[in-house]
Structure 1
Amino acid sequence: MSDEQLASLSSAAGLSVDWLDANGRPQRVSVESQRALVESLGYAAQSPQQIAASLAHLEHEHHSRELPPLLTHELHRPLSLASEFASDTHYQLELEDGRRIDGRLDGNACLHAIEHCGYHRLHIADRELTVAVAPPACLSVEELTDGQRRHIWGLTAQLYSLRRPGDGGLGDMQALADLARSAAQHGADALAISPVHAMFSAWPGQYSPYSPSSRLLFNSLHAAPDVLLGEAAVNDALQICGLQGSLKQLESLDLVDWPGVTDSRQRLLRQLYRSFRDQHNALTPDFDKFLLKGGDALLLHCRFEALQGFMVRHGMPGDWRTWPEHYRDPNHANVDLFASDHALEVGYHAFCQWLIARGLDRAQAAALGSGMKIGLIADLAVGADGAGSQAWARQDELLQSLTVGAPPDILNRQGQSWGISAFSPDGLRRHGYRAFIEMLQANLAHVGGVRIDHVMGLKRLWVIPQGAPAQAGAYLNYPLQDLLRLVALESWRNRALVIGEDLGTVPEGLREELAQRRLLGMRVLLFEQRDGGFIPAPFWPDDALATTTTHDLPTLHGWMQGRDIEWREQAGHSTREHSVDDHNHRQWEKHCLQKALQDCALLPIRDNSITEQLDASVSFLGSTPAPLVLLPLEDAMGEFEQPNLPGPGDTHPNWRRRWPINAKDMLERPEPSQRLQRLDQARRARDHLAPLVRTHHE
């Protein structure tokens, strides 16, 4: 078998056979991995004859490919249609606002420049296409603050960790609203939260917010039904269900008991739905409006939830890929029949989605009403579980036989396999980017911004055959320009800030591309080192947000104490010998950070306490040119432990830690209050100095 022939097929299928690792060293995907990957993408490659036939098929598809149902384009630029239509061909453009423009293609068969952003319908010859016309870039911090601020700050919070009286053991929308009001009173303009994606109501043991069932809907366990339905309705439901004792027990725990919370919350929500359905309710018209607006995506998710619950209750697998064939197809008549026979169950899941969506609306209203300029920033996971609702509903648009992860790098020498499914580049094009657009719109519908996890996925993703180790993967390329235009368009339509998490192995030139489109990158204090020291605050970039740490990294307090090194050894991710080396290196890093803080006169030149160093680090971030500083709640509070420890095993209580203090009171304590005051002062000082200071980007 010709290795060159297989490499040609791999490249034609969208894979990068050659790539650079995190150290800049050239790497090549093995022949065995190439074969497994192209076959997972649907192209036979077991023999030279099969490879030749697959190549011929791809080449034929490329040359005979018609225009896709959706074209992305730039504002104020002509659009060439020469591949399909002759010059002077008549067209009618129906703008998103209903206006119609008649015209003819120019001498180069170009559509005249469109002066309005939006999704417009193009009728030309016998074809009908959508033209998504995007602004040059996403909205900036300055635009979103109406020119009042160029340098703002906010907090990041793990939603599940928040606490309030009567929350039943899990952070909810009311606790989020309480925290938003408190943060706004301290001067915050944003509150970024962990993903609120829909999980598996039938699988309470699967609770990582980055492995959701669907990124189109939300996790109804975080709903605060008393806010919408009233305390009396909730108290009546609790009385009927006899849940008061179990909820108080769950609420008293230091860690989230996900199975216990799931069981109790669902019992409560089911009783609330029965009462809502059986009694006249002034909110019924709003619920009906929500159902109508939710459309196909909401309907399919609720049907999936009902189907999966039915399967699990009857001792069958919950993974839809093992269901009877007629239930694997969401458009099959048997699925319609099941939904009709189980209409109350489907309606229950819609009711839950209504509660959480309205809760998000109210939390965002609380944030903006308290003075925030941005408000909530949602977190968009890089993929969804292949056994979940989104993969079932959008099978042609997601990769079914590949999982997503990361190649071996400095932090993880074995690479990572995240066990999630991502979009198919070819499937996206063929379906007019439907799944990508609806995902953006769903996640921006209730917030003021979005953080795109692993934003490198807009350009390429490390894909791995099911069951194979991470090292057996390769990069699959995506239509970056199309996706960036759609992101910019949705930023404009929703007046939303967009952040791209660009940590890890970043392709050359991608950060510059993101900056041009005004997607804010991310710079983490612990990583911002160069030439044996920490980069001085004035030389941080002005096209990325600044933060102390992330949910996958140690808190500053924990970092200074080497807590993450201890956890890695305890979890079996590192050996005792490696830990000794890591502790020695950490001592050097701590010395370098202390020197950086002293050099900018934020820390006295002497031995400093951890609290002093933490305070100085917060002021340091505030003085950077970053348009946005996001301070994790863990560092605002001086917390020792981190939320998540990436890697195999379950030794660390990932996604379970809860705050012992009520959300509305957390920031009122002296230490966090003073810390936030320092950050607010540094940000306002930076705003004042902005016209006078030139960064290395200018």
Structure 2
Amino acid sequence: MSGADDALLRLATLHGFEPQWQDFRGRHHHVGLDTLRLLLRAQGVDAHDPEAALGAALDEAARAPLPPRLTGTAGQHLHVALPIDCPPDQPIAWRIETDSGVVQDGLAQPVCDPRPVLVLMLPDEPGEARLMLGGALQGEAALTIAPRRCFQGPLESRRCWGLGVQIYGLRKDGDGGLGHYGALADAARAAARRGADALALSPVHALFAADAGHFSPYAPSSRTRLNGWLVDPGGMPEVAKTAALAAQLGIADALADAEAAPLVEYGAALPLRLRLLRALHAQFAAAHLHPPSAMGAEFLRFRQDGGTRLEDHAHFEALHAHHLRADPYAWDWRNWPAPMRDPRSTEVATFAAAHAEEVAFHVFLQWLATRQLTAAQRAARDSGMGIGLIADLAVGTQAGGSRAWSRTAALLEGVSIGAPPDQLNLLGQNWGLTTFAPTRLAAQGYAPFLDDLATAMSFAGGVRIDHVMGLARIWCVPDGARATEGAYLRFPVGDMMRLLAAESHKRQAVVVGEDLGTLPDGFRDLLVSTGLLGLRVLFFERENDGAFAPSWRYDSRAVATSTTHDMPTLAGWWRGADIGLRAGLGLLPEGQDEAAEGAARQRERDALWQRLHEEGGAEGDAPAGPEPRLGAAVARFLGRTPSVLAMLPIEDAILSEPQVNLPGTTDAHPNWRRRLPAPVPALLEAEPAVAILGALDAARREGGG
């Protein structure tokens, strides 16, 4: 290997990219040098002359002052890296001032290991602070003193259970064929009446109001803004009711037709929803802004407090709609005229002034979304839920969305995140999303990450972090490359976990991490030590001989669940509907056919029924179809596990067969379009939900296995 190649590998490692990786079979792979060059470019690193770039990077790292933010754990040592030219024999004056008024200071001698390091003992009380260095080495940094574990709330003292729902699929009279936040309060109250402590939601991140075709909740425009699609137009009855707005606009029949559709037809439902919301905004502005009423003053304060970041999103939405009307291929802001790609340009400011009403409308949507989600959480807690809503934080962001356009989020450019090949997908996965550039994220004091967490936790009692291993490392693929032609990118996982723990206590929110797939060594141990709940899925929890694991084997510091949105429902799995579906689409594992998969599923059904017979109260022979006694036995089994939280998707509470999302498909399967057959309160007051949730609630209260 040449000196230049060796320098390139060291440069990649310095910037977080791992030049080697191990696949699910245990085989080691080397990342191509061209791939590493492209990935470094995505971090803003010019690797044309890798030896010079490496020398400059090492020199910069050695002489770097304090970073904008340091993190440590309360009552433990903080290790502060110092510039390489720091005088080794000269004590350094230091001072820590916490926001609560605690002050610690003193002199400390640097320790060379081999770079000079200052070792300080942190205060016992978690919180935000400032670290100041004096004497020969002047410096100051924000300091997050984190608690040892994430907030646990009711999970400290009892085992809870919850229900999961997809918001877009909720039904409520007059919804126009698309679920909304107004149905959440009803759903939360209904679940609470059955004994639930939590209601887990699909992501509510902002999507694209001008494009009904991009509706995956896991492919957001911004994770710091909310989805205005899902606002309930009838959520401000003091301004206008939905029926009156529909009559005024002449769209009552169209709304009824959309509401009658078995699936969410976004192309019809979204424009109707936005017409209602625009009419609501016009009436609100006329009645409450000129002059401002108490409600109008609340809106104006929200807009002022939102500052530049809120205005950026509203500007983007207006610009996105404008460019799409002129050119259907202008979906990505990187294809807009150069001045419009810069959120701080004079041209953008001029556009925003000329389209002030449209910009205000998108601010209005954010205000209403915040109000309605907050009201749903209040309804959940007032109904007796210990946790309430559990929000969902998607793993990445659309590079063509508002967060990337704002240029404030330290995002990678020119790469997509995904997953390397595994036993379920031998070609790997490319999700078409981007994520943070770790070095730039640290340079911004982790502010974009904290913004994401604050938004997700602001209206909820918990948050689920999708693909939580992305806090430690994530698979990155250069644009235009195959999913196999990527590399892992490491993140400062210690800092990320400490910030997560600190934010969870600040917001009083429990944290769940989707820890499925190929995990870094020791990662689950890190989750446990941080108080972050992993995920244990019934179908995956097996013994070496294929038997389903007994209830007592489930982790206590995890969430036990029957399935996930990317897997078959319980009813669909039992009937084998997913096998025929995947076979028809060519998605079966390599070397397998439908008959072999069907025979294997029969063995799995027998094994599950055996376990349910032993621990789930199942009696008699296994049912031919997904009968209520199957659902009740699964719920009872999950309830018996020591896991502090058991979750059941509503599809499994009503034994619905269709799968929410089928990975590897777009138009071939109606992903993210399934509607519930009735409003949640009606579903939970009827069979089979009464029996299934009753079994789950009783098992939770009995104390488990």
Paired AA for residue 579 in structure 1: E
Give the CA deviation at 1:596: 1.4
2: CA distance, partners of 1:649 / 1:580: 25
Alignment of 1:199-278 (within 5 A): 199-230=207-238, 232-278=240-286
Alignment of 1:291-370 (within 5 A): 291-315=303-327, 317-370=330-383
Are 2:632 and 2:693, in contact at CA under 8 Å, matched by a contact in 1?
no
Deviations along 1:464-499, whole A, 9 cap, x unmatched?
A: 001211001110000000000000001110111100
Deviations along 1:555-583, whole A, 9 cap, x unmatched?
A: 11111111111111222323896222211
2:16 is equivalent to residue 14 of structure 1: yes
Against the structure 1 CA distance between its residues 81 and 654, is the aligned structure 2 distance closer, same or farther, given a 3 Å change threshold?
closer
1:144 aligned residue: 154
Give the CA deviation at 1:307: 1.6
2: CA distance, partners of 1:469 / 1:102: 53
Give the CA deviation at 1:94: 4.5
Deviations along 1:167-191, whole A, 9 cap, x unmatched?
A: 1111111211111100000000001
2: CA distance, partners of 1:291 / 1:43: 37
Against the structure 1 CA distance between its residues 576 and 29, is the aligned structure 2 distance closer, same or farther, given a 3 Å change threshold?
closer
Of residues 443, 448, 451, the one that matches 1:430 is 443
Of residues 622, 630, 635, the one that matches 2:647 is 630
2: CA distance, partners of 1:617 / 1:178: 26
Deviations along 1:425-449, whole A, 9 cap, x unmatched?
A: 0111110001000110011000000
Alignment of 1:78-477 (within 5 A): 78-81=77-80, 83=82, 93-97=96-100, 99=101, 101=103, 103-107=105-109, 109-125=118-134, 127-140=139-152, 143-144=153-154, 149-230=157-238, 232-280=240-288, 281-315=293-327, 317-394=330-407, 397-477=410-490
Paired AA for residue 77 in structure 1: Q
2: CA distance, partners of 1:534 / 1:233: 52
Paired AA for residue 583 in structure 1: G
Give the CA deviation at 1:294: 2.1
2: CA distance, partners of 1:119 / 1:237: 47
Deviations along 1:353-409, whole A, 9 cap, x unmatched?
A: 111110100111111111100000001000010000111123560001110000000
Give the CA deviation at 1:28: 2.5
2:630 is equivalent to residue 613 of structure 1: yes
User: 3-state SS of the aligned residue for 1:155?
Assistant: strand
2: CA distance, partners of 1:127 / 1:44: 29
Give the CA deviation at 1:231: 7.1
1:537 aligned residue: 551
Are 2:616 and 2:637, in contact at CA under 8 Å, matched by a contact in 1?
no
1: CA distance, partners of 2:268 / 2:666: 21
1: CA distance, partners of 2:165 / 2:616: 30
Are 1:237 and 1:272, in contact at CA under 8 Å, matched by a contact in 2?
yes
Alignment of 1:64-75 (within 5 A): 64-75=63-74
Deviations along 1:7-32, whole A, 9 cap, x unmatched?
A: 33322231112222223332322344
2:39 aligned residue: 37
1:28 aligned residue: 30
Are 2:122 and 2:145, in contact at CA under 8 Å, matched by a contact in 1?
no
Give the CA deviation at 1:228: 3.0
2:115 aligned residue: none
Are 2:64 and 2:82, in contact at CA under 8 Å, matched by a contact in 1?
no
1: CA distance, partners of 2:655 / 2:506: 38
Against the structure 1 CA distance between its residues 331 and 197, is the aligned structure 2 distance closer, same or farther, given a 3 Å change threshold?
same
Paired AA for residue 67 in structure 1: L
2:555 is equivalent to residue 556 of structure 1: no
User: 3-state SS of the aligned residue for 2:400?
Assistant: coil
Name stretches of at least 5 consecutive residues in structure 2 with no aligned partner: 111-117
1: CA distance, partners of 2:250 / 2:186: 28
Against the structure 1 CA distance between its residues 256 and 624, is the aligned structure 2 distance closer, same or farther, given a 3 Å change threshold?
same
1:526 aligned residue: 539
1: CA distance, partners of 2:33 / 2:597: 36
TM-score under structure 1 normalisation?
Answer: 0.93
Alignment of 1:582-601 (within 5 A): 582-600=597-615
User: 3-state SS of the aligned residue for 2:688?
Assistant: helix
2: CA distance, partners of 1:93 / 1:13: 30
Give the CA deviation at 1:646: 0.6
Give the CA deviation at 1:37: 2.5
Paired AA for residue 119 in structure 1: E
2: CA distance, partners of 1:43 / 1:81: 25
Paired AA for residue 374 in structure 2: D
Give the CA deviation at 1:144: 3.1
Against the structure 1 CA distance between its residues 81 and 502, is the aligned structure 2 distance closer, same or farther, given a 3 Å change threshold?
closer
Against the structure 1 CA distance between its residues 649 and 82, is the aligned structure 2 distance closer, same or farther, given a 3 Å change threshold?
closer
How many percent identity over aligned positions? 41
Name stretches of at least 5 consecutive residues in structure 1 with no aligned partner: 694-698
Against the structure 1 CA distance between its residues 607 and 324, is the aligned structure 2 distance closer, same or farther, given a 3 Å change threshold?
closer
Against the structure 1 CA distance between its residues 105 and 313, is the aligned structure 2 distance closer, same or farther, given a 3 Å change threshold?
farther
Are 2:527 and 2:534, in contact at CA under 8 Å, matched by a contact in 1?
yes
2: CA distance, partners of 1:640 / 1:279: 47
Of residues 648, 658, 661, the one that matches 2:665 is 648
Deviations along 1:248-298, whole A, 9 cap, x unmatched?
A: 111111110112122111111111111111223441121122223323321
Give the CA deviation at 1:595: 1.5
User: 3-state SS of the aligned residue for 1:130?
Assistant: strand
Report how many residues are paired.
680
TM-score under structure 2 normalisation?
Answer: 0.92
1: CA distance, partners of 2:243 / 2:654: 33
Paired AA for residue 205 in structure 1: G
Deviations along 1:132-184, whole A, 9 cap, x unmatched?
A: 111001022xx336x5x421100111111110101111111121111110000
- What value does the CA root-mean-square deviation take over the aligned residues? 2.1
Are 2:390 and 2:463, in contact at CA under 8 Å, matched by a contact in 1?
yes
1:657 aligned residue: 674
2: CA distance, partners of 1:176 / 1:323: 37
Give the CA deviation at 1:101: 3.0
Give the CA deviation at 1:635: 0.5
Range moving further from structure 2, 229-238 or 298-307: 229-238
User: 3-state SS of the aligned residue for 1:53?
Assistant: helix
